[in-house]
Amino acid sequence: MARSKVGLGSGARFADYLSTGLLARAFPAAIINEELDAHHCNSERVRTFPASAVVYYTMALSLYSEAAYEAVFAAVAQGLAWKDHQPVAPVTVVNSAISKARSRLTWKALQAIGRRCLLPLARPEHAHAFFAGYRLVAMDGSNVEVPDEEANVQAFGYPGSRTGQAGYPQAQCAILTECASHAILDAELGPYQQAEWEVAAPLLRRLTPDMLCMDDRGFVGYAHWQAGLQTGAQLLWRMPKSLILPVEQLLDDGSYLSQFYPSARARRKRINGIAIRVIEYVLPQVPKSEPMYRLVTTLLDAQEAPAQDLAQLYHERWEVELVFDELKTHLGQRRRVLRSKTPELVRQEFYGWVMAHYAVRWLMYQGAAQADIPERTVSFTATVQLLRRTLPQSGAIPPCAPKTMVPAAV
């Protein structure tokens, strides 16, 4: 029995600030075209579906994850179809034309667009955004299912299971997130069998000296720590209890200074050590807590960053777990998240998914700032639903956009 194609449904009136171009404000057309040119995949002639529109379409795929490709294209086309500031009827295209348009892109162009546009949103006055003047960011990883196509299997692989092979191939992803805003600042995608820290390693290049980066045990290694240190950022990472960290100086707050060595041999010879501070604590009042938690940090001064403050601060890292819930449950609508049938298009869709999430978070933060309300009181789910209802009627993806992000009025 043939599967019915799913449409978008009817929508309500769009808020005024969205009609000025949400996606193009967060991802300006000028930047998109510059990166498309740099990656040699921009449209060389006038097309019904130019390359810049394909980028916005790739973002919209995540907003309408249950809709047919043609229906998503119609939503994008209506946003693009403006002439003399008046809406005109968009053309209709078939699925094969959409696939051909997507094949002219490259995922590296979308990644580059993201790296220029995925900017921190939090300001110093925002709660839980900074510590000792450093912007709080966190890294984490997860897995996403992709369609069971031979090319995807070869590129990403199957996860194992107790009964053998799992149902769908999976890719492994890692994200760098601003804790306060949940804005994704960078993302990487790799094969399922690749080590988690290898997938995440390129994210360290996005750290800046004004950041404090928190990380979990799965990412910690000497080379990884050294790479983070070289960015000038401060680090607060959880460390396995099995790693030998000799006490060199006990501090008044119970933490101690130590050296992080690349190997047991280097530790014996005391060469290539990196100065770190170790914080070990227990959570006796928390059910099912571990016997001991160990954090290591580049913040060596216990007066500037007391151990108790850092232990409490580390739990802000769990905000990145909520980001994956937003991506998979609320934006992905609890379905198999990525639906493209080739590795190239899977990667394109992944970065479109990340950028769509950022657009929602950008809108939430701008709206909260204009309304003078706490940003964490704005509903992610309600904002996504608003976008889904109204994007087709909004002109939210205009053919021209400001070169810089301008706060939207609520």
Question: Average pLDDT of 126-135?
Answer: 92
Dump pLDDT digits (tens) for 93-109.
777 888 888 999 999 99
Tokens of 234: 């401060």
Give the range among 4-18, 178-192, 349-363 with minimum mean pLDDT. Answer: 4-18
Q: Which residues pair with 172 in a beta bridge?
A: 143, 190
- Residue 161 has what pLDDT? 58
More confident position, 347 or 221: 347
* Residue 47: pLDDT over 70: no
- Work out the pLDDT band at 92, boundaries 50, 70, 90: low
Question: Average pLDDT of 80-95?
Answer: 54
Question: Average pLDDT of 73-83?
Answer: 62
Question: Average pLDDT of 46-50?
Answer: 67
33 — phi, psi (to 5°)? -65, -35
Dump pLDDT digits (tens) for 244-294.
999 999 999 999 999 999 999 999 999 999 999 999 998 877 777 777 889
What's the CA gap between 95 and 266, in Å, rounded?
Answer: 59
- Residue 79 has what pLDDT? 63
The structure's pTM equals: 0.85
- Residue 373 has what pLDDT? 75
- Residue 389 has what pLDDT? 65
What's the CA gap between 207 and 237, in Å, rounded?
Answer: 14
Q: What is the 3-state secondary structure (H, E, C) of 319-371?
A: HHHHHHHHHHHHHCCCCCCCCCCCHHHHHHHHHHHHHHHHHHHHHHHHHHHHH
Amino acid at 99: S
> In the chain, what are the domain boundaries?
16-116+341-394, 118-321
- Residue 78 has what pLDDT? 67
- In residues, how long is the chain? 410
- Work out the pLDDT band at 172, boundaries 50, 70, 90: very high
Question: Average pLDDT of 111-138?
Answer: 94
Question: Average pLDDT of 116-131?
Answer: 92
Residues contacting residue 219 through CB under 8 Å, at least 6 positions apart:
139, 141, 196, 197, 200, 237
Q: Are 177 and 183 in contact (CB under 8 A)?
A: yes
Share of the chain above pLDDT 90, in %: 50
More confident position, 302 or 47: 302
Share of the chain above pLDDT 70, in %: 80
- Residue 69 has what pLDDT? 78
Question: Average pLDDT of 134-157?
Answer: 94
What's the CA gap between 376 and 284, in Å, rounded?
Answer: 29
* Residue 396: pLDDT over 80: no
The mean pLDDT value of the chain amounts to 81
* Residue 316: pLDDT over 50: yes
What's the CA gap between 152 and 314, in Å, rounded?
Answer: 36
- Work out the pLDDT band at 304, boundaries 50, 70, 90: very high
